[in-house]
């Protein structure tokens, strides 16, 4: 069955759950709950990458994430570190993180590929065309899925040149990053082009604005019924991604996606 990654944002300003898990004890309790609900990996992030987000000093990012990574790793919970910074990636790997999840695929920090290569961590290469502040200015595509696949292929080559074995790579099409509205759907409909690159594929649609747009709800509303509806939409897209061949999906609401995947498995007689 497709693996589920549970999102844990240790930030004050993430688009959906910013501020909820800033306290390390609260964050660790949340991670343990996500794990109990079926998360195979807990993806810990200390810097928001929502559209328009400001960068965070590396020291502050590490202050937020390292105690959480250390505690979860000590518990035997597999952890991914969601970061754009090579220094944070290296520190988190030393603290026990098994995966470095870089939404920029190593483009935001010239030292990232070398830092990952020097560690034992696997590496998620996200599709990215620039920082959060102006990412939509780069949302220009002819054939979105094909262009995303080609740009990911280039990052795979860069990772290989840096000494990261292909077996350590995971590809993320970067849903919501430098992609507006329909472009996200085009990439999802064309996931086969990304899966054909021959690496594990991670898909993260969770609570993103294009889902709110499809549902006709206010994408800026991060709570209440709107959030619940976006979690249901996330579960549906996660199931469709799994059917398309995704290795894993990254979500806020682990239980909803777990149940949706279990129903599909039963339907398929697995």
Q: Percent of the chain beyond pLDDT 70? A: 92
**pLDDT tens-digit series, residues 189-227:** 999 999 999 999 999 999 999 999 999 986 555 556 788
Alpha-carbon distance of 47 to 57, in angstroms, equals 9
Mean pLDDT in residue range 164-181: 96
Would you name the residues annotated as active-site residues?
A: 208, 250
- Per DSSP, the chain holds a count of helices (H) and strands (E) of 10, 8
| Averaged pLDDT score across all residues of the chain | 92
3-state SS class at 159? helix
107 or 228, which is more confident: 107
Mean pLDDT in residue range 228-256: 97
Mean pLDDT in residue range 251-263: 97
Q: Dihedral sign, CA of 17, 98, 160, 238?
A: negative
131 or 87, which is more confident: 87
How distant, in Å, are the alpha carbons of 19, 43, 108, 120 from that of 115? 29, 18, 13, 10
CATH assignment of 3-267?
Answer: 3.20.20.20
**pLDDT tens-digit series, residues 13-58:** 445 554 566 688 899 999 999 999 999 999 999 998 766 667 789 9
Quick one: pLDDT at residue 132? 72
Quick one: pLDDT at residue 18? 47
How sure is the predictor about 131, in pLDDT bands with cuts at 50, 70 and 90? confident
3-state SS class at 234? helix
Alpha-carbon distance of 251 to 255, in angstroms, equals 10
In sequence order, which ranges of 125-166 are alpha helices (DSSP H)?
144-161
Contacts of 40 (CB under 8 A, 6+ apart): 3, 4, 5, 78, 248
């Amino acid at each position: 069955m497709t693996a589920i990654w549970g999102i844990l944002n240790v930030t004050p300003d993430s688009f959906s759950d910013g501020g909820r898990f800033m306290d390390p004890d609260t964050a660790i309790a949340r991670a343990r709950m996500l794990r109990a609900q079926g998360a195979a990996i807990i993806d810990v992030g200390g810097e928001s990458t929502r559209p328009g987000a400001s960068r965070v000093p590396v020291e502050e990012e590490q202050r937020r994430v390292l105690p959480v990574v250390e505690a979860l790793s000590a518990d035997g919970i597999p952890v991914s570190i969601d970061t754009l910074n090579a220094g944070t990636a290296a520190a988190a790997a030393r603290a026990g993180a098994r995966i470095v999840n870089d939404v920029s695929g190593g483009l935001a920090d010239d030292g990232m590929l070398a830092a990952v290569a020097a560690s034992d961590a696997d590496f998620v290469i996200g599709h990215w065309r620039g920082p959060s502040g102006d990412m939509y200015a780069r949302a220009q595509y002819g054939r979105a899925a094909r262009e995303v696949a080609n740009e990911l292929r280039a990052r795979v080559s860069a990772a290989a040149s840096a000494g990261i074995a292909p077996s350590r790579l995971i590809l993320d099409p970067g849903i919501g990053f430098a992609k507006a509205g329909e472009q996200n759907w085009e990439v999802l409909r064309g996931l086969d082009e990304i899966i054909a690159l021959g690496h594990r594929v991670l898909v993260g649609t969770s609570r993103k604005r294009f889902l709110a747009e499809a549902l006709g709800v206010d994408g800026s509303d991060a709570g209440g019924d709107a959030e619940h509806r976006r979690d249901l939409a996330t579960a549906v897209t996660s199931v469709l991604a799994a059917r398309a061949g995704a290795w894993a999906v990254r979500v806020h609401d682990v239980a909803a996606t777990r149940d949706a995947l279990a129903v599909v498995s039963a339907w398929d007689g697995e």
